[in-house]
Amino acid sequence: MITESTEEYLEAIYYLYERGKTATTTSVAKELKVAPASATQMLKKLAKQGYLKYVPYRGVTLTPKGEKIGKKVLRKHRVMEKFLSTLGLPKSRIHKDACALEHHIPDDLERAIYQRFEGERLRPPGAPSNVVPLTGLLDGQKGIVSFIGGGRATSQRLADLGLTPRTEITVVKSALFHGPLMVSVRGTTLAIGRGIAAKVFVGVK
């Protein structure tokens, strides 16, 4: 059973990674607002559990197991922040409540919330409710291309990449609310800008 404290630490370390910063005891402690001594003790514990590699005075490196958890928790936090912001809650509450929810929301519920948010925001009028923009899929999710939005130039550009109706597509790396997506199409991995990915509508598998 992974504790909330473990998730918090792995999330903080992954967040530092994402910003291109070295995850040291000091930077992790600052991110989590804890004493450096407490951070050192916890990092050593997580190293013994196989979530990271800890070298005194050189910082920490997440193992694949630790990185997977840290990335997932951070993703859930961002989805919850976006969801809570649509409810009109004050900004002073959103981050705090998202921190609490990120540890308890099931994976399938997170996906449903994210897809509903992206679908309602981008789905053209009359499109089926089970069809969402490609940007609405998370890591590892698959879909079947239903239709392409935008003009002829967009459709041709995507067709040149192999993205045509009835084509299966798998998201390798999603981009929550910003940045390009990495997708697998016809055995090839592609990077697609978020703007054009939002014009690809898929039926979720």
Name the band, by pLDDT with cuts 50, 70 and 90, for residue 106. very high
Out of 50-54, 129-133, 138-142, pick the least confident.
Answer: 129-133
pLDDT value at residue 123: 72
Q: Per-residue pLDDT for 122 more than 80?
A: no
Residue appearing with tokens 């910082």: 59
Q: Using pLDDT thresholds of 50, 70 and 90, give the confidence band for residue 151.
A: confident
Is there a domain that residue 100 lies in? Answer: no
Task: Using the predicted structure, report yes or no on whether residue 120 has a pLDDT greater than 80.
Answer: no
Domain membership of residue 17 (yes or no) is: yes
Structure confidence at residue 118 (pLDDT): 77
For the chain, the average pLDDT equals 89
- The pLDDT of residue 20 is 87
Number of domains in the chain: 2
Q: What is the pLDDT of residue 195?
A: 86
pLDDT reading at 156 higher than 90: no
pLDDT in tens, 50-71: 999 998 878 899 999 999 999 9
The residue segments making up the domain with residue 17 are 4-68
Pair 177, 78: CB distance under 8 Å? yes
96 part of a folded domain: no
102 occurs within a structural domain: no
Note whether residue 97 is domain-resident.
Answer: no
Residue 111 resides in a domain: no
Residue 116 resides in a domain: no
Q: Partners of 52 in the beta sheet?
A: 62
DSSP letters for 128-170:
-TTEEEGGGPPTT-EEEEEEE-S-HHHHHHHHHTT--TT-EEE
Q: What's the chain's length in residues?
A: 205
pLDDT at 145 over 90: yes
